[in-house]
Structure 1
Amino acid sequence: MNYEHGKENLPMDGMSVGSPNTAATHVVRADCPHLADPEWEALQRLSTVIGEAARPFYARYRREQHGVALGFILSEQREVAVANTVSPGVTPRKEYLNLLVSNYEGKEGETLLRWLVELDTAIMARRIVDSLSKVAFTMSCLGGRARSWAYGRRLSDPTCFSTYESFKKELKLAFEPPKNEFRSRA
């Protein structure tokens, strides 16, 4: 093995037996041609974390170098993932995605379920968390007879849509086609 400084046999200094001399521990890339570039770079980063004394170990045990490098890469990825996780109460950015939602009009042939999926996606992207705000946003995306139905219900009873889930349930009852026995078996 070639080292940038010194020989593979480590000097013995005073009190300790075989403690590595940091000047003698720089491994050259050419000494480890069996390692892929990411593995080599991981070993270099690992040596900066552990210290120069770890390099002779990597130079001597070829079979273990791959495992050590991959293990270090995985631990780095876990640390990055933990650092990037966001607690539920914290938003990583202040702006939101302004996804467009097509209007649901309650016409024959319009699929309510598909529109509700589109709507739920837009609500998540806009970061609307309050149930009443979700209802208000949903009502703003209605058109035609569906809009007339929703605002008519709201005029007769201002508290009729107390939660977003109850609003969706009533909307389904009003506009989904009735399911007969044949369709439910299919």
Structure 2
Amino acid sequence: MNINDTSMPDASRTTGTSLEHASFPHLSAIEWEALHRLAAVSGDAVTKTPLSGGTEEQQRLAAQEFMARELADLRQRVSTPTQTKNKSDIVKLDVSTYSGAGEGRRHLNRWFCEVDIAIEARQLSTELARTRFLLSKLAGKAKEWALGKLVTDVFCFPTMASMKADLRLAFAPPQDESVQRSAFLALKHGRMSMLEYIQRARHLVSCITTHPVHMATQVHVFISGMSAGYQRFYLTRKTPPTLEEGFAVALREDYSVTASQAFDVSRAPVPEPERMEVDAIQQFGGRRVPMSSARPPTASSTRRPRPMRCYRCGKPGHRAAICRAPAPMQANATVAYDVAAPKTGDNR
């Protein structure tokens, strides 16, 4: 291949040499083109030296080294836009503030976990950005404490870990983990629901991070603190390996027991009394008309309505309870009259 080949016009103009590819049969077409690109980038003397006085291995090595550099540059150019694209995936999460005072303040372990999640979502990579973000979420006494330290020493918070450690020393209650450990070991189910009992156990375990309780001890404390019942009996027979698995089994068994108590399928339904025609009445035109006479019987009904007749006046269409006719006199009725007492001398 001639150096002045039309396939590589730029390289031929740059090198200005009359060397041809036929003079170097040990070089492949790809290696020869790589040498042309090397001459175009670095100059004519860089390629003329190995082609004129170098061995075949040196010529081939020069071409391969240049191709390796080209590949590395290409990979770097491809990876750079990917990092820029990831910055568009930033999620700004809301983080609660920490004041360091009050009975309702959050535990530092839980608040630090919330801050770490927000920092990861915002993709804050430098320690300065992380410490400033943590500082922005302080309030009250905690913020006054942090600003006071920054006024005296600008570099008092070099890393995120050191700032967390200083916050623990300043605002964490003394012997906090010992108190939380004692509360967890003495945890009892009591009158709490199963979900409340599980949440209480999870909260106490999350507060013990420096010297965590062994997993087997956690499971034992959780099962032994449960109230006597089917849930505890099931977990005692089949002890779960982790505390979270114990939580899942306890919730499932508690739901099964609650559902079985709410609906007993073995209990037969109690028969209800049927409505009588006397009670099935409605107001119609100022008179109470039985529903059986007001509505035509359905085709599925096996009972046929009987004609209603008043036993007081003998007329149909109403009952004796609402009849206004006078009661009939009996033919064989007897009338008893009071007999006058005989007169005596005392009655005169």
Q: TM-score, normalised by structure 1?
A: 0.49
* Structure with higher RCO (Cα < 8 A, 6+ apart): 1
Larger radius of gyration: 2
Q: TM-score, normalised by structure 2?
A: 0.27
